Amino acid sequence: MLIVQKFGGSSVADARRIKAVAGIIAETYRNDNSVVVVLSAQGDTTDDLIEKAAEINPNPSKREMDMLLATGEQQSIALCAMALESMGIPAVSMTGWQAGIQTTSAYGNSRIRSIKTERVLAELDRKRVVLVAGFQGTTTFFDITTLGRGGSDTTAVALAAAMHADLCQIYTDVEGVFTADPRAVPTAHKLDEITYDEMLELASMGAKVLHNRSVEMARKYSVKLEVLSSFTRKPGTIVKEKVKMEETKISGIAKDSDIARVALVGLEDTPGVAFKIFSLMAKNGVNVDIILQSIGRENSKDISFTVAKGDLATAEAALMEARETIGFNKLDVSSTLCKVSIVGAGMINSSGVASQMFEALYESSVNIHMISTSEIKVSVLIDDVNSDIAMKAIHRKFFGE
Amino acid sequence: MLIVQKFGGSSVADARRIKAVAGIIAETYRNDNSVVVVLSAQGDTTDDLIEKAAEINPNPSKREMDMLLATGEQQSIALCAMALESMGIPAVSMTGWQAGIQTTSAYGNSRIRSIKTERVLAELDRKRVVLVAGFQGTTTFFDITTLGRGGSDTTAVALAAAMHADLCQIYTDVEGVFTADPRAVPTAHKLDEITYDEMLELASMGAKVLHNRSVEMARKYSVKLEVLSSFTRKPGTIVKEKVKMEETKISGIAKDSDIARVALVGLEDTPGVAFKIFSLMAKNGVNVDIILQSIGRENSKDISFTVAKGDLATAEAALMEARETIGFNKLDVSSTLCKVSIVGAGMINSSGVASQMFEALYESSVNIHMISTSEIKVSVLIDDVNSDIAMKAIHRKFFGE
């Protein structure tokens, strides 16, 4: 089999961890697989480099920032190759440009354009483990770029897609995708399988296992993913197109606390009000998540919506400034809320899933502030203090004790 | 003018130093020069990386070591480019491969084969300062290599040669080349000019200002060098083909304490004895410096020679093992010696220089153990405890108080 393995920053944080990772790679190699490894920078390396730059120039050009940051992953691959060598495993490290990863020239947040896999394939033919620096590539003019958030996951999936790998393993510090956060719900269990769509919904709702960008790319090119832990040696969660339908209708419960609610009370009930509000938010770079509109009294209506906590002040200021244009009686904000969501491809064929969730919340006396649904998820906004009770109650309802 | 400026590790050790270096570069640029800058890794970065590697693999492959070490210079150029940007100076950083530096594939100690200067020249045409990572290049197969000792100096001189630069400035932590080490001889003064040959002799005799490799390359391609300090803003020492003849016959005094003497007493006075000894040394990788042969008594002779202190144990063991083959009565070693040398192109035409040096030593009652001479230098081996007295006495003799 041709396997791409990606290890994140905490997995290669120090010499001991690098040796442990090399052990995993060595075992995969000895089981007669061709192995391509993608590594992130060690632990806090990237943050340390950003701090170093800030001391010199608070607003450096993105090209030079990429030149600086790309060194972190280069150090990881060299050190890991040395660890493999000491175990008698032939290995060769490659920077993004050596591995043929061509990107757009959007420094700091570039996209992979194409991968010239000749060199990587030639090294695999020579029975070497190939270690590729994640998160980086070059423009057509040979300038070094970085891929932004979730960049190393993207490198791994893109390499797996370009080489038609049999499997792309994303090693992280959790054992896979869980039905809920085990810290909040002790009875949560690991899923064996999950679909790309479910994974995307879970990721965008606060489950920080995989970055959406890499899941989207995996779906597009049908790359079979496995999320698993580099700290324990257990099978993880497979992410693929279709999974065998399980008995339960949902695959997981997620919580997102980075949420604030804005409520505009007493808006005039005329066309164009919603447009005015949300074009204003877009102009100010505020991303809006759930939107709820309710009829008020006497020709008026209320509109509530949620934003990330960091955007709340911007949203509030923009709305107050435009108060006359929009026309509302009262602006009400709250940042003591959280969003709890259930996700599952099985949900589409079962109308009762949402009501089961609401029932669980009712039985635990948790008040629901807002509701939002899609084909494969149901999200509710509740008080943050109730999140643990709510998660446990929902989990019990769908997965039992 | 087209000027290449090289700054060493101590010159770019921290944010404050990088800003100071950027100030020097900015001034050169504003004086209407095209500026190419070569940087070393910051302060202890290289040593820290070597230590990190040793934790993982005490004997890593040189290819991976180069992959690791090359990141140090890459960080320096990115940070310095940011410092220039913050001063409003357009700048662009380039790794060795981006700057077109092609080397042999002798990892860890490669030689520059050729430099494709197109990209560097194009960036200079765009009125940018070009910052090139020193100490590194790539093989024809695009693997990263490093140039070994004095590598960044070599990068600077090679770039200056390839681009026919008007001047190559080597910034360091001393103000130039001195008539003697100012710490040993307080009256030592800086030379305005020195020839390549004199510089080579001084460098190989312990004056650690410039690495021989870069001086040799500068001589070969007639690159005008200037050695100067990045900490003070004063003219340094110009190194070139010919200098105006000064009144004094010598240009400098140097001391080398990394020296040990091996004496073989009572060798048979037959042909081939010297060959046996020094081919044995060569086979064991021991570099021999001064060799002295004297007639002993009754058909026997003695041979003494000097080696680096680190090679003494190897030399001793090899000789003792070959005692029967070589045939000697006694092996005598000493490592409490040092070598003091005077250098000067003017010496060739003046037979009295050596005797003036011996006179100075006699007047200060310093005993001479060995003497070695070349066209432009005289070296003596004396007890290390006498080195300060000797340096001062010689300096007084040639340069006055």
Angle between helix A62-86 and helix A15-30 axes, rounded to 10 deg: 60
How many Å lie between the alpha carbon of B230 and the closest alpha carbon of chain A? 18
For chain B, give the number of residues: 401
Answer whether B120's CB lies under 8 Å from B137's CB: no
Contacts of B77 in chain A (CB under 8 A): 67
- Judged by a CB distance cut-off of 8 A, whether residue A142 touches chain B is yes
Residue ranges in chain A whose pLDDT is less than 50: none
With a CB cutoff of 8 Å and minimum separation 6, the contacts of B218 are B157, B160, B161, B168, B196, B224, B225, B239
Mean pLDDT, residues B223-241: 91
B380 and B233 Cβ atoms separated by less than 8 Å: no
Looking at residue A342, its amino acid is I
Q: Which residues pair with A261 in a beta bridge?
A: A306, A334
Chain A environment of B48 (Cβ under 8 Å): none
Is A350 or B140 the better-scoring residue by pLDDT?
B140
Whole-number Å distance between alpha carbons of B177 and B198: 11
Measure B142 CA to nearest chain A CA, in Å: 7
Q: What is the side-by-side strand order in the sheet with B136-138? A: B112-115, B101-103, B136-138, B144-146
Contact A387, A256 (CB under 8 A): no
- Check residues B155 and B327 and name the one with the higher pLDDT: B155
Q: Do B67 and A81 touch (CB under 8 A)?
A: yes
What's the one-letter identity of residue A379? S
Q: What is the pLDDT of residue A247?
A: 53
Is A75 near chain B, with CB under 8 Å?
yes
Strand partners, A330: A265
Helix, strand, coil shares, percent, chain A, to 5: 40, 25, 35
pLDDT of B204 > 70? The answer is no
Asked whether B79 and B104 are in contact (CB, 8 A), the reply is no
Q: Write out the two tokens for B244.
A: 């105006």
The β-bridge partners of A101 are A115
Query: Quick one: which of A240, A296, A234, A236 has its CA closest to A265?
Result: A296
User: Within an 8 Å CB–CB cutoff, is residue B12 touching chain A?
Assistant: no
Q: What is the pLDDT of residues B162-189, one digit of tens each?
A: 999 999 999 988 888 888 888 888 888 8
Place of tokens 């300060």: B388
User: Which one of B63, B68, B138 makes the best mutation probe of the A interface by having the most chain A beta carbons within 10 Å?
Assistant: B68
Q: Does the pLDDT value for residue B283 go beyond 90? A: no
Q: Which residues 326-355 of chain A have a CB within 8 Å of chain B?
A: none
What ipTM, to 2 d.p.?
0.76
**Are the Cβ atoms of B79 and A143 closer than 8 angstroms?**
no
CA atoms within 13 A on the CB side of A227: 28
Residues B378-398 have a mean pLDDT of: 91
Taking an 8 Å cut-off on Cβ atoms, the answer to whether B70 and A67 are in contact is: no
Q: Is A77 on the interface with B (CB under 8 A)?
A: yes
Query: Cβ of A50 under 8 Å from any chain B Cβ?
Result: no
Contact criterion met (CB < 8 Å) for A67 and B77: yes
Quick one: closest CA in A to B58, which residue?
A86
pLDDT, tens digit, 9 for 90 and up, residues B34-69 = 999 999 999 999 999 999 999 999 999 999 999 999
What is the C-alpha separation between B355 and B378, in angstroms, rounded? 10
- The mean pLDDT of B102-122, rounded to a whole number, is 94
- Cβ-Cβ contacts under 8 Å for A317 (sequence gap 6 or more): none
Q: How far apart are CA B389 and CA A245, in angstroms?
A: 91
Given CB atoms, is B62 within the 8 Å cutoff of chain A? no
- Is B70 in contact with A70 (Cβ distance < 8 A)? no
* Secondary structure E strands in A298-395: 300-307, 330-334, 337-343, 370-374, 377-383
Flag whether pLDDT at B291 surpasses 70. Answer: yes
Domains of chain B plus CATH, in order, are 2-173 (3.40.1160.10), 260-334 (3.30.70.260)
What is the Cα–Cα distance from B180 to B177, expressed in whole angstroms? 8
Q: How many other β-carbons are positioned within 10 Å of the β-carbon of residue B120?
A: 24
Mean predicted confidence (pLDDT) in B377-388: 90
Could you count the other beta carbons within 10 Å of the beta carbon of residue B248? 13
pTM score > 0.90 for this model?
no
Measure A110 CA to nearest chain B CA, in Å.
Answer: 18
pLDDT tens figures, B365-380: 988 888 877 777 888 8
Alpha-helical segments (H) within B284-400: 312-321, 323-326, 352-363, 387-399
The residues, ordered by sequence, that sit 6+ positions from B111 with a Cβ below 8 Å of its Cβ are B103, B104, B147
Alpha-carbon gap: B129 to the closest alpha carbon of chain A (Å): 13
* pLDDT reported for residue A351: 59
